[in-house]
Amino acid sequence: MKFSDQLEKRFADLVTHYPVKRSALVPMLLYAQDEVGCISDDVVHEIAERLGLTDLEVRNVVSYYSMLHTRPIGKYNIQVCTNISCMLRGAEQIFDHFRKRLGIGHKQDTPDGLFHLEEVECIGACCWAPALQVNYDFHENLTTEKVDEVLDRYRSRQ
């Protein structure tokens, strides 16, 4: 499998940042996903070979992280935390509001391919609960009004 020259350079640089190559696995998977659109079987195999891992070891990591996907998903991946801190501060209403506004449920995509919605475990933003992540951006202290603003912002970016 062939990655872009830019990604090849990034990979080459990444492995120099860690004492063992396998530590570069998660960032390599994220960068590959950004370029390819998902973690396909080919991506799993290619990265496993580069890091001296088995395909199964890579798949185990892919299945653990909610940021990693084995199939293409909507352009904006909305991950709503419903873990304890967020749940106590209204995360379920936030998630329900997204479901109503987008007309989709957990792990579904809008028909235009713009949004993917997921309910996830803690995203490390408990102090600002309820919180969510859209791709690499965090949105915190959410209210249903803020949800509407978040959706409008990403819709206008298309």
Which of the 8 DSSP states describes residue 71? S
Per CB under 6 A, which region of 30-38, 68-76, 82-90, 99-107 contacts ligand FES?
Answer: 82-90
Q: In which residue are the tokens 């803020």 written?
A: 146
Q: Which pair of structure tokens corresponds to residue 112?
A: 């235009």
Q: Is there a contact between 62 and 70 (Cβ–Cβ < 8 Å)?
A: yes
Closest separation between CB of residue 139 and ligand FES, Å? Answer: 11
23, 40, 85, 108: residue in contact with ligand FES (rule CB under 6 A): 85
Distances (CA, A) of 8 to 42, 69, 101: 16, 21, 39
Determine the Cα–Cα distance for residues 31 and 47; give it in Å rounded to an integer.
Answer: 11
29, 86, 94, 150: residue in contact with ligand FES (rule CB under 6 A): 86
SS3 of residue 17 by DSSP:
helix
Here's the x/- map for ligand FES, 97-136, by CB under 6 A: it reads as -------------------------xxxxx--x-x-----
Closest separation between CB of residue 120 and ligand FES, Å? Answer: 9
Q: Which residues sit at the interface with ligand FES, rule CB under 6 A?
A: 81, 83-86, 122-126, 129, 131
